[in-house]
Amino acid sequence: MSYDDAVSKIKIPPYSKKQELFNSLSHLLGLPLSLVVIFFAIYKFSINSISLLSFTGLLIFALTIVIVYSFSAIYHYLDPKTFNKKIFRLLDHAVIYLLIAGTYTPICFHLIDKGMAAGLIIIIMEWALALIGILFSLLLFNIPFIRVISLFLYIVMGWLLLFFAWFIELDLLAFTFILSGGITYTIGALIYVLGRKNLNFHSLFHIFVLLSTILQIVGVLLLF
C-alpha cells in the first residue's frame, strides 16, 4: 500500500460545521501569543538583558507556537472530504511534539546560560523525543496503539523537567506557571482521550491547550 493510499484511509471525526468553526477559531487565537514572546525577546535582547542563546530559545518557542496553532486552525477549517484534511490531521498531531520541545527550549537555554549542565541534557532529550514522535505520527500512523504511544510520549516530554528538579534552579513563580501549564495540558489531554465519543470534548480540549500555552508563556517570560 502506498503512503497516499494509507493516508486516504484515515478517518476524520464527524464534527459539525459549528464545532469545526469553533475549533479553528479557538486556535487562531493562539497565533497572537507568539507575538508576545517575539516582542519580549527583541526588547530584552535590545537592552542586553538576555544572551543570544536565550534570545534564540525564545524565538524558537514563538515559532513552534505559530506552527502548532496555524496547523490546527487549518486542519479544522478544511473540508472533511478532502485529502488535504487527512494530511493536516497527521500534521496536527505531529506538531504537538514541536510545541512541547519548543516550550522547553528557552527554559533549557536559560539553564545553560546559568551554567547548569542539566539544561543541555534536557534539551537533547526533548528534541530527540520530538523527532521520534513526529516520525511516528507521520510514518507509523496506521500501526495499532499509535494513540497510546503518542500520548505516552507527550506525557514523558511534558513532565521531563520534574525528573531533573533536584539538579536545576528555577525562579519559583516562573516554575509555578510552567507547572500549572503542564497540569492544564494534561487535564485537557485526558478530557480528549476519555471523551472521544463526545465530539464537544475536542472543543474543550482546545480551550485547555490554549490556556496551557498562556500559562507557560507567562512562566517562561518570568525566567528572564
Q: How many helices (H) and strands (E) does the chain have?
A: 10, 0
Tell me, yes or no, whether 111 lies in a domain. Answer: yes
Please check whether residue 145 is in contact with residue 169, taking contact to mean a CB–CB distance below 8 angstroms: no
H-helix or E-strand containing 169? none
Residue 3 lies in a domain: no
Contact 55, 63 (CB under 8 A): no
Q: Residue 219 in 3-state DSSP?
A: helix
Residue 1 lies in a domain: no
- Whether 191 is covered by a domain: the verdict is yes
The dihedrals phi and psi of 223, each to the nearest 5 degrees, come to -70, -25
In a structure prediction context, what are the per-residue pLDDT tens digits for the chain, which is 224 residues long?
688 888 888 888 889 999 999 999 999 999 999 999 999 999 999 999 999 999 999 999 999 999 999 999 999 999 999 999 999 999 999 999 999 999 999 999 999 999 999 999 999 999 999 999 999 999 988 877 787 888 889 989 999 998 888 878 899 999 999 999 999 999 988 888 777 778 888 899 999 999 999 999 999 999 99
Q: Structural domain of residue 206, as residue ranges?
A: 13-222
Helical (H) or strand (E) element with 65: helix 52-77
**Helix 118-139 to helix 83-113 angle, to the nearest 10 degrees?**
170
Note whether residue 102 is domain-resident. yes
CA distance 139 to 158: 22
Q: How many C-beta atoms surround the C-beta of residue 7 within 10 A? A: 16
Residue 6 covered by a domain = no
In which residue are the cell numbers 507568539 written? 34
pLDDT at 173: 96
- In the block, cell 484511509 appears at 9
Residue 128 CA: distances (Å) to CA of 15, 39, 100, 106, 185: 34, 29, 12, 16, 21
Provide the domain count of the chain: 1
Q: Which residues contact 36 (CB under 8 A, 6 or more apart)?
A: 217, 221
Q: Judge contact between 130 and 89, C-beta under 8 A.
A: no
Instruction: Decide if 79 is inside a domain.
Output: yes
The Cα-based distances of 170 to 2, 95, 165, 176, 223 in angstroms read 48, 27, 9, 10, 7
2 in any annotated domain = no
User: What is d(CA 162, CA 203) in angstroms, rounded to the nearest whole number?
Assistant: 29
Specify the pTM.
0.94
